[in-house]
Amino acid sequence: MPLDIHHLRQEDWRSEFGAGDLRRGIAYAEEKRSKLLSLKDHSLLANCRGSGQTYQQRITLHPYGRKWSVTGHCSCPVGFNCKHVVAALLTLEAVQKSGADLSELIVPSKEVAEQRLEGISPVPVLTLGSHVRVHFDARKGRMLEQTQHRAALAFDYAGHLTFGKPAKDLVKRLQADLNLRVIRDANAEVQLRKRLEQLGLQVALRQSDALPADAGEPFELEGERDWLGFVQNQLPQLRAEGWQIHMRPDFQYNLAEVEDWYAEVEEDPQQNWFDLELGIEVEGQRLSLLPILLQAIRRTPWLLTPEALAQRADEDRLLVNLPQGGKRIALPFARLKPLLATLGELYFRDPGEDHLPLRLGRADAARLAELAQGPALNWQGGDELRGFAQRLQRLQVREVAAPAGLQAELRAYQLEGLNWMQTLAELRVGGVLADDMGLGKTLQTLAHVLCEKQAGRLDKPALIVMPTSLIPNWQDEAARFTPQLRVLALHGNKRKALFEEIAAHDLILTTYALLPRDLKALNQQSYRLLILDEAQNIKNPRSKAATAAAQVQADLRLCLTGTPLENHLGELWSLFHFLMPGWLGDAKAFTRDYRTPIEKRGDAQRLAHLGGRIRPFLLRRTKEQVASELPPKTEIIQWVELTQLQRDRYETLRLAMDQKVRDEIARQGLARSHIVILEALLRLRQSCCDLRLLGDDASDLSAADSGKLSALLDMLVELVEEGRRVLLFSQFTSMLALIEQELQARKIAYAKLTGSTQDRRTPVQRFQAGEFPVFLISLKAGGSGLNLTAADTVIHFDPWWNPAAEAQASDRAYRIGQDKPVFVYKLIARGSVEEKIQHLQQAKASLAEGVLGSGGQGQWQLDEADLAALFAPLQ
């Protein structure tokens, strides 16, 4: 049956509408909302009552084949082929079927002439728009924002726009009696559609409010990156090819151009901070980046995480809104990556406050040099600070010579450490000297202080805080290596009388235990240097020692520790919080930005970022790194402080033994008193090791009651963490048993070899194979026949008084086949008989061998002065 508008059938036109519009249009027709106004030729005029108002429809039917093509314009927001048009067509069909008279609706036709326009190439017109839709997501229980973007393709034939497939003629009424028929070029239109598809656009199958239906044939792209790339790269190509491009005001990729990036630095030479402002210039207006980026990070907080940044290519761009005017800009990730990597945690650490500009500590100047890694910045001000930043980032170490008068020859790595500390002092920043145990951190620090003194910069004292047991070490090494330095030890009950002398000295020594108690007195004086030895003592930032150290007034701060990190990253944060507060953020931010990603998720990028932050301020050398500079065997005396309980017991024992020895000498003479003297020395030595060796009732004693055992355990923990392989010698097998208990409690793997060991070969082989880090050996069992070249550290818990026998034990590790430097530590109780015999060994080399060796009594020439020295009171 031929098509006839006076006998309209639904099956001839319904394919022109979507299912939803058909369904709602049928409902409107059944509710009799549509009213027919006029019918002329193939055009119908109607109106329809909507939800809130009445809309008018102008509908034209075009026959093609056996179907109608419907051009239905409506005054509703949809505008084209909507539910109101469906209702009008259904109403017309229903009226026709009812047999009602339509003569009043029909407008008589007039003869209309027709003008043809053909042979014209279409000009492609591309319209671009966006629509933001806010809706409630029932599954997530919150409002969601969804943005759609569309491109619409139309064809301009000499000023007449058309679109759609197939390429039907466009008929327009020019005058009451004249129509214009535009003959479309179907092949040309196909090629223009293909051009869009070549650029990645696809025909949009879903309706969208981003553009009105009469804007043209809808196209879309998948994601933001595609739209941004299309606008920035492909649109200029289309313009060059003659395409007309129309961007609606709401199109979110109608971007303003960033004309310049700038950085302003304002520093106060009198203060230890500077202000940093980063911004852009858009259309001649300077805009701060801080509020722009804050807005972006709050809208999509996941977008600028380190993980997301790592996945972004440098050429990718981030779309952000400008604070005024509703325009947007595209910021290249090539610029954002270094910016957010170096300043991100500062920008976003307090989202509730938009601080302008950023105020940073002087140590943060290293960030300025890192910002230069991206595209060029227009720097304004801060030339000196940026020069400082470049030096800080590269840490261009200033080479200095060892100070004149230093009573030691610095090895190359020690001179490097001195240069590093001098450079930090010049840059006015702190640092952590984290060399392995035994590499001379004390010597390097003394050389540093001496350099400061000789350069005239030590106008105020250097204050060094340390564990109590290290006070004598510092006194001895300062007297030995830097006798020019005036040293004052604030230790013991009489220290308060010395506070007034602080300003007259170069080096002030105090302890972690005393620092909180003496803080008020110490802060009567400011200091050139504040140095924490064994700085892991402040690994808990809330401890009294850490809190007090932070309050000391000092120009420069330095940490010395072989173990800057023992259990978790929070300990490292505590050191840097002392050195440069704020450099790693506050504790909460540090946990969020570093500890959680690194410790719980193994985030290698965050770990690398943290390493970059601290690298200029931490110098660590292991024994392996400097092995070529070390002598084959380095001997170190490790001084130990006895506990108060040990001191009391030692003094009681000393008085009794002194009297017993003198009575024996008075009865038999000095030469015949050998056995009694040996027994007295043995008992005093045992009290220095552990009171439990004396055989008295010691059920209530523990390792904490032995200063030497406590010191040993601290050493072993550090050495094992460094990967050291340790031989531990003691003359007393009962002492080895006590040490064994403590190693078990700390889960440190070990083996033991004593005279009662039946199978000597197995533990030796297992140690050589690397199965455990600590080997406990009694002197008698380990004196000969062992080859333990896997070891690199030897500890004499109670040094053997015969130097030859002691050396023989040490050489279990240092012998043919050993390819590592060996460190030999002697643990000696300060002020005790152990120290006295060490001095006598040096003064009279044959003394110990004569007393304790196999050479016989006759070689020992002990006089009253020697005897008095051995049994003198504790110092």
Say how far apart CA 264 and CA 250 lie, in whole Å.
Answer: 34
pLDDT per residue over 673-696, tens digit each? 778 888 888 889 999 999 998 887
As a whole-number percent, the residues of the chain with pLDDT over 90 amount to: 25
Confidence of residue 126 (pLDDT cuts 50, 70, 90): very high
Whether the pLDDT of residue 532 is over 90: the answer is yes
pLDDT per residue over 456-474, tens digit each? 999 999 999 988 767 877 8
Confidence of residue 791 (pLDDT cuts 50, 70, 90): confident
Q: Tell me what pLDDT residue 138 has.
A: 75
Positive/negative CA dihedral, 43, 46, 50, 54: positive
Name which of 168-177, 649-658, 834-843 the model is least confident about.
834-843
pLDDT per residue over 246-290, tens digit each? 988 888 888 877 778 887 777 766 666 677 777 788 877 888 777
H helix or E strand, kind and range, residue 741: helix 733-745
| Cβ partners under 8 Å of residue 35, min gap 6 | 46, 47, 48, 91
The partner residues of 143 in beta bridges, in order of sequence, read: 136
DSSP collapsed to 3 states, 772-791: CCEEEEEHHHHCCCCCCCCC
Confidence of residue 858 (pLDDT cuts 50, 70, 90): very low
Q: Tell me what pLDDT residue 839 has.
A: 75
Whether the pLDDT of residue 182 is over 50: the answer is yes
Say how far apart CA 210 and CA 783 lie, in whole Å.
Answer: 90
Asked whether 536 and 563 are in contact (CB, 8 A), the reply is yes
| Cβ partners under 8 Å of residue 301, min gap 6 | none
The partner residues of 264 in beta bridges, in order of sequence, read: 277, 380
Averaged pLDDT of the chain: 81
Q: How many CA atoms lie within 13 A of 634 on its CB side?
A: 17
Whether the pLDDT of residue 44 is over 80: the answer is yes
Whether the pLDDT of residue 96 is over 50: the answer is yes
Confidence of residue 540 (pLDDT cuts 50, 70, 90): confident
Whether the pLDDT of residue 860 is over 50: the answer is no
Domains within the chain, CATH numbers bracketed: 5-109 (3.30.310), 116-247 (no CATH), 258-394 (no CATH), 412-619 (3.40.50.10810), 637-870 (3.40.50.300)
Residue matched to tokens 């972004």: 312
Whether the pLDDT of residue 503 is over 50: the answer is yes
Q: Tell me what pLDDT residue 534 has.
A: 87
pLDDT per residue over 368-419, tens digit each? 666 666 667 777 676 666 666 666 666 656 678 888 888 988 888 899 999 9
A 10 A CB-CB count for 138 gives 7
Q: Tell me what pLDDT residue 583 has.
A: 75
As a whole-number percent, the residues of the chain with pLDDT over 70 amount to: 83
Whether the pLDDT of residue 818 is over 60: the answer is no
| Section 694-712 average pLDDT | 85
Whether the pLDDT of residue 347 is over 60: the answer is no
Name which of 129-133, 564-568, 742-746 the model is least confident about.
564-568
Whether the pLDDT of residue 446 is over 50: the answer is yes
Whether the pLDDT of residue 438 is over 50: the answer is yes
Confidence of residue 22 (pLDDT cuts 50, 70, 90): very high
- Alpha-helical runs (H) found in 482-543: 515-522
- 560 φ/ψ angles, rounded to the nearest 5 degrees: -120, 125
pLDDT per residue over 582-619, tens digit each? 777 778 878 887 888 877 877 777 777 777 777 878 88
A 10 A CB-CB count for 207 gives 14
Confidence of residue 850 (pLDDT cuts 50, 70, 90): very low
Residue matched to tokens 């809190």: 547
Name which of 103-107, 210-214, 355-359, 820-824 the model is least confident about.
355-359
Say how far apart CA 551 and CA 503 lie, in whole Å.
Answer: 18
Whether the pLDDT of residue 80 is over 60: the answer is yes
Helix, strand, coil tally for the chain in percent (to 5): 40, 25, 35
Say how far apart CA 805 and CA 825 lie, in whole Å.
Answer: 15
Q: Single out the residue of 595, 509, 579, 587 nearest to residue 538, CA to CA.
A: 579
Confidence of residue 120 (pLDDT cuts 50, 70, 90): very high
Confidence of residue 866 (pLDDT cuts 50, 70, 90): confident
How long a stretch of residues is the chain? 875
Name which of 549-558, 634-643, 818-827 the model is least confident about.
818-827
E strands, 253-366, where? 258-267, 273-282, 285-288, 317-321, 328-332, 358-361
| Section 663-678 average pLDDT | 79
